[in-house]
Each structure stands twice: as C-alpha cells, then as structure tokens.
Amino acid sequence: MDKVKKYPIIQALLAALLFGASSPFAKILLGDVAPVPLAAFLYLGSGIGLFIYQTIMFRGKNEDLKEAPLSQKDILWLIGAVVFGGVMAPIISMTSLKVTPASTASLLLNFEGIATTLIAVMFFKEGITKRMWIAILCITSASILLSWDFSNQWGISLGALGILGACVCWGIDNNFTRNISAKNPFTIVIIKGLGAGSFSLLIGYFIHSPFPDIITIIKAMILGCFSYGVSLVLFVLAMRSLGSARTSTFFGTAPFIGAILSFVLFREAPGIMFFVSLPIMIIGTLLLFKEDHAHKHKHEHIVHEHRHSHSDSHHEHSHVLGEIPMDGYHSHVHEHKEMEHEHSHTPDIHHRHSH
C-alpha cells in the first residue's frame, strides 16, 4: 500500500482509537458526574483544548498552519453539521433512551456507519465498490455482535425508531463535515465542540442535572480534548482522502478498542461474543486496507482552496519562485483544468464522482 493511501487509513484508525478510549475513561468519571453534564464538558474540552493548542502553536495564522480558512459557503455546511450532530441527534437519542431497553439501544447505535454510507451514496454520489459493501457489512455485524446482550429486555418501539433517527442525524453530520473537510480541521472541530458542548450544558441546566466539582470538570475536558477533539481532527483529515463512508467504516472499530481498554482498566474479561465478532471485524478491516479502485474518470473544471502539495498530477499549477514552503505543503485558491485519466483512487476531494 502506497503512502498516499496508508496515511488516511492510519488517521481514521487513530481517530477510532482515541474515541474508543473515551468510553472506559468516561465510565470512571460517571461515578462523579451525571451523563448530560459529562457530555457537555467532553465537547467543551474538545473545542477549548484545540482552540488553545491552535492559538499557541500557530498564533491563529492560517498560513502557518497551511490550511484553507472556511469560506462563506462552508458556513452553511458547518451549521448543518452542528445542528444535526450536536443538537438534534443528542436530543432524539436522549429522549429515546428513556423508553428503550439498554440492549436494544446499544445495538441500534451501531447503525450510524450504515446511515453515513447510505446518505453518502444516495445524496452525495460517493462511489462504493462491492468490496466496500462487504467490509461495511462485516464491521457493522461485528459491532452488533459485540453489543448483543441476551440477558436484558428487548423491544422495538418508537424509542427504538428514535435511536435510528439519531443515527441518521449523525450520518448527515458526517457527510456535511466531509463537504468542508478540505478546510482547517481545527476550526471545524473547535466550532462543533463549542456548539455541541454549550447546547448540552443548557440541557443539563434545564433538566437540573447536578454539576460536578472543578477537578472532575477539568478531567472531563482533558478527556474530551483528546478523545473527542483530536479524534475528530483526525477523522476530518481522513475524510479528505477516504470520503465519509470509508472513514466511518474504519471508525466502526472503536467499540473493540473500548472493549480492550475496559479489560485493561477494569479487568473486565471479554465475553464470548467479543471473540466471535473480532475475526469478522478483522476481515472487514483487511478488505478496506486492500481496496484498490481504479477506472477512467473525468475531472471537471474547478477553482477551490485547500492544503496541497505538487506531488501529484492534480496540482501542476505554477508558482512564483519562493512561494512554496520547504515541505511543499501550502494553501491558496487554485484552478483545476478539465482532464481525463485513469489511476487508483479513493473518494478524496478530487474524486467524488458517481459510478
């Protein structure tokens, strides 16, 4: 596998690793804080933590970060992502969880990846191969098996349909975020974190959830900075090259990471379903790793801005001597002329054509 394909996959898996770690560590914090305030401070930690990091490291200058700033047309996509993923989905899921058995809810939450893929294919024309569908089926099935609990009550109700609705909202969020993934990922995550965190904080206030002490708040925000903030930055970076469907599928390995960490932290021995589902998950992941999609395709004329280098055939525009940084990466408005060629590719920002 070449480096161009390998790095985005590593970014997606690291995102899953960090997010998967949030469950066992959040479980420790739940002894000192209610669920809604915990969610609020996790999100706020992601936004505030990355804002501090970007301010210190890059002094707020996009040219130092070599990332494209958000444009006016990007704002609508970002607002949509915050509304669907940070506002609507939590409201629907929390309301539905009250009337839905825990085992059913845990099972249904695994359908976020499928919702993301279906929306990407039907509405954003993202190309999906047969190998990709099989990989999605394997990883989703493995997550379902891992969530299966034979001991609890089961039932399909309006609450269960509500959880599926929340998964659809998160799927919309993922696809909206994909459409702005070429822009500064820190800005995207900071706005999403502060927006979702502030909203959750308001919910906690109105439902009279007890707020934790300052030490617990700091712990939650540090966890959120890494497990939500850094994880989402990596998720956005991966979507640039892999598209929303493939990135979300790799992200579907997060429950297994959480299960392994729970074993390490709490000495919770994995159940039999973990060992049944693990090989299925591995097969699905390997199918994604080995995906090789190539065909003759046409690039339409486009003018846009994003972080890039001139190491590929899609960026052969000229520059004044000395404009390009030493490492080759930079961001500016540039033009792509119409061209037709054939090579191996994924649904990155230059290959989001339908099949």
- Ordered by start, the domain boundaries in the chain are 3-61+71-292
pTM across the whole model: 0.81
For residues 322 and 215, which has the higher predicted lDDT (pLDDT)? 215
**Average pLDDT score over residue span 169-186:** 93
Question: Residue 134 corresponds to which tokens in the numbers above?
Answer: 């099989």
Give the Cα separation of 332 and 71 in Å (integer).
12
pLDDT digits (tens, 9 = 90+) for 232-291: 999 999 998 888 988 998 888 888 887 787 777 777 677 788 888 889 888 988 887 776
Distances (CA, A) of 145 to 20, 97, 259, 274: 17, 20, 13, 8
pLDDT of residue 221: 96
pLDDT of residue 169: 93
pLDDT of residue 323: 61
Confidence check: pLDDT of 218 > 50: yes
pLDDT of residue 59: 66
- Lowest average pLDDT, out of 28-32, 108-112, 226-230, 305-309, goes to 305-309
Number of Cβ within 10 Å of residue 343's Cβ equals 12
pLDDT of residue 127: 78
pLDDT digits (tens, 9 = 90+) for 332-347: 666 666 666 554 556 6
For residues 3 and 151, which has the higher predicted lDDT (pLDDT)? 151
| Residue 288 main-chain phi, psi, to 5 deg | -70, -40
pLDDT of residue 189: 95
For residues 110 and 175, which has the higher predicted lDDT (pLDDT)? 175
Distances (CA, A) of 351 to 17, 68, 181, 225, 348: 27, 19, 14, 32, 5
Question: Residue 51 corresponds to which tokens in the numbers above?
Answer: 């804002």
Residues belonging to the chain: 355
pLDDT of residue 1: 46
Give the Cα separation of 99 and 113 in Å (integer).
23
Give the Cα separation of 65 and 59 in Å (integer).
9
